[in-house]
Structure formats: C-alpha cells, structure tokens
C-alpha cells in the first residue's frame, strides 16, 4: 500500500473503532491491553459483547498493522517527499 492508501485505510478503521469506544466508554488501546491481559473474560458468555469484542480486537489489530507499515514507509523516505508527491500537480509553474 502507498502512504496515502494507508492513511485513508487507517481513518476508515478509526471510524469503526470509534463506534466501539463510544459504546463501551474505553479507548481501543486500553481495550486491547485488557484483552491481552485476559481482563475481560467475564464477558465471554454474553454473545453480543463477545462478538463486539472480537470485531473490535480484529479492527484494532488491523489498525496496528497499518500504523506499523505507515511508520516503515516514513523511515524509507522523508515527509517532504510524500507531501511533494501530493502537491506536485497543484504547484505553479514558473518560466
């Protein structure tokens, strides 16, 4: 994926994460930590919550993966490179 595609996809994922964060009153990073530490097992018996948690966990893992790739691309080329590539067509041409 290109840097631009990653940003667009990360924002799309963040919209999905926001639904869960608002529903359960918890930021995704804290939910993720609690899941990894086994702190939410008491909700395993409740189908709706378990299903939400699985979708939330999957979306957050995907976001982490995209963020890792985004950071990797930024180490390959400096930020101005990416900005130039996006604004190149809108820059005035001087003779």
Tokens of 42: 């008491």
Per-residue pLDDT, averaged over 35-52, amounts to 95
pLDDT at 78 over 80: yes
pLDDT at 59 over 80: yes
What is the model's pTM? 0.85
């Amino acid at each position: 994926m290109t840097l631009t595609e990653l940003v667009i996809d990360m924002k799309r994922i963040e919209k999905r994460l926001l639904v869960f964060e608002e529903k359960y009153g918890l930021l995704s990073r804290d939910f993720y930590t609690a899941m990894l530490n086994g702190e939410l097992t008491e909700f395993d018996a409740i189908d709706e919550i378990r299903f939400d948690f699985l979708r939330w966990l999957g979306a957050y893992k995907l976001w982490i993966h995209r963020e890792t790739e985004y950071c990797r691309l930024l180490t390959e080329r400096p930020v101005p490179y990416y900005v130039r590539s996006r604004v190149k067509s809108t820059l005035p041409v001087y003779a």
